[in-house]
Amino acid sequence: MKTNLRQYTLQITAIFALVSVLTIGCSSTYTPIQKIDGKYDLNYTMKKGVEFSITKENKHLNDRTFMGKQMVTNTEDMIVIEIEVNSSAKDGCKIEMEYEDRSHATDEKGFEAEIDFSELLKKEINAALSANGELSDFDGLEELPQINFRDMDRVMTPELYSYEFIDLFTIFPDHPVGVDEIWTYTQEFDEPSGGAILKATLNYEYKIASESVEGFDNCILLKGTYKFDIVGVIDAGGLELTIKLDGTGVEDVCFDLKRKMFHWKRTSAVIDGSAFNEDMGITAPMHHEIENKFNVEF
């Protein structure tokens, strides 16, 4: 049986490209941000006409070994998204988003050429942003180009674009919380890969760690941790491989209580596991390190 090593590595890279950009939660009911009895009511109910941009920088170390061959690649991505609040209501707001800039770089040999993102820029995408950070009712995703990230064997679809927008907003609880009081949420999603569906489960836990952030007025510091696992079976060029992966991550967020938007957030994750075929005695270890930096400019 001939195994397509390139196909296998591309499928695994695509899995972690999705994991590195995905956070989502559940909806909530709006009440103004305020502190009552020592608790904060957190939400994203920004006023109509507010404009800001979010710059996201992503670094991904991908270390895998297959059939005795170790492969280590590094990728760096940068995305700038312009956002304007078109309307505001008790349950959240309507926002308009545009890609202002984008880049992708890899040190994987044969894929160093730059990707042309010009067709993506300045196209309008509209969505509803709930008070606690859930994005829904997307309009315009179908008009975005099917850009091919060849080093990851990944062609952008409306669903994959939606993950990039969803990733911007940390999810808040549907009730007031005090310092060190924990809120949680769980997300499950399916990721097509190798002609099959991988199942991913992510468990998030957040708290208000501090009522002040150095250098920023009217801000609180949120700290989060998350755990996830990914399981499934893929076809790597005719070789059936079972995927089992798990990882942990951390997130820090500087949230402005008056602007009702964060100034910055930082996330990082470490992912380990393997792809294996017990009948053939094949095990392919994998290790991934992911870092994300988000900065907002008002």
Query: Could you identify the residue written with the tokens 């309008």?
Result: 124
Give 36-82 pLDDT, tens digit per residue. Answer: 788 999 999 999 999 999 999 999 999 999 888 999 999 999 999 99
Q: 19: helix, coil or strand? A: helix
Instruction: Measure the CA–CA gap between 243 and 249, rounded to whole angstroms.
Output: 20
Query: pLDDT band at residue 31, thresholds of 50, 70 and 90?
Result: very low
249-279 pLDDT tens trace: 999 999 999 999 999 999 999 999 999 999 9
225: amino acid identity, one letter: T
- What's residue 24's pLDDT? 37
**Mean pLDDT throughout 3-32?**
50
Asked whether the predicted pLDDT for residue 294 surpasses 90, the reply is yes
- Which amino acid would we find at residue 289? E
pLDDT band, residue 33 (cuts 50/70/90): very low
DSSP 232-261: EEEEETTEEEEEEEEEEEEEEEEEETTTTE
| CA distances in angstroms from 125 to 24, 83, 95, 142, 172, listed in the order given | 18, 10, 8, 9, 23
CA 243 remoteness from chain centre: 21
Please give the C-alpha separations between residue 76 and each of 70, 104, 253, in angstroms, as whole numbers. Answer: 20, 6, 21
Bridge partners of 99?
81
- List the structure tokens of 270: 């470490």
First to last CA, the chain: 57
Q: How many CB atoms lie within 10 A of CB 37?
A: 6
**Confidence band of 4 (pLDDT split at 50, 70, 90):** low
Query: In the structure encoding, which two tokens stand for residue 171, read together?
Result: 């999810």
For 39, phi and psi rounded to 5 degrees? Answer: -120, 150
Please state, as a whole number, how many other Cβ atoms lie within 10 Å of the Cβ of residue 71.
Answer: 13
Mean pLDDT of 211-230: 95
pTM score, whole prediction: 0.85
Give CA–CA dist 195/237, Å, rounded: 11
For the stretch 184-201, pLDDT in tens is: 988 877 776 656 678 888
23's tokens: 């956070």
pLDDT of residue 117 exceeding 50, the answer is yes
CA distance 27 to 39: 20
The percentage of the chain sitting over the pLDDT mark of 70, rounded to a whole number, equals 87
> Are the C-beta atoms of residues 72 and 63 closer than 8 Å to each other?
yes
Confidence check: pLDDT of 281 > 60: yes
Amino acid letter at 253? V
**What pLDDT score does 185 carry?**
87
More confident residue, 131 or 159: 131
Of 29 and 293, the one with more pLDDT:
293
- If 0-12 CB within 10 Å is exposed, 13-18 middle and 19+ buried, where does residue 239 land? buried
Rounded-to-integer distance, Cα 193 and Cα 11, Å: 6
Confidence class of residue 212 from pLDDT cuts 50, 70 and 90? very high
Q: Which residue has the higher pLDDT, 27 or 152?
A: 152
Alpha-carbon gap, residue 54 to 298, rounded angstroms: 9
Please state, in angstroms and as integers, the Cα–Cα distance from residue 165 to each residue in 21, 90, 159, 234, following that order: 9, 22, 10, 27
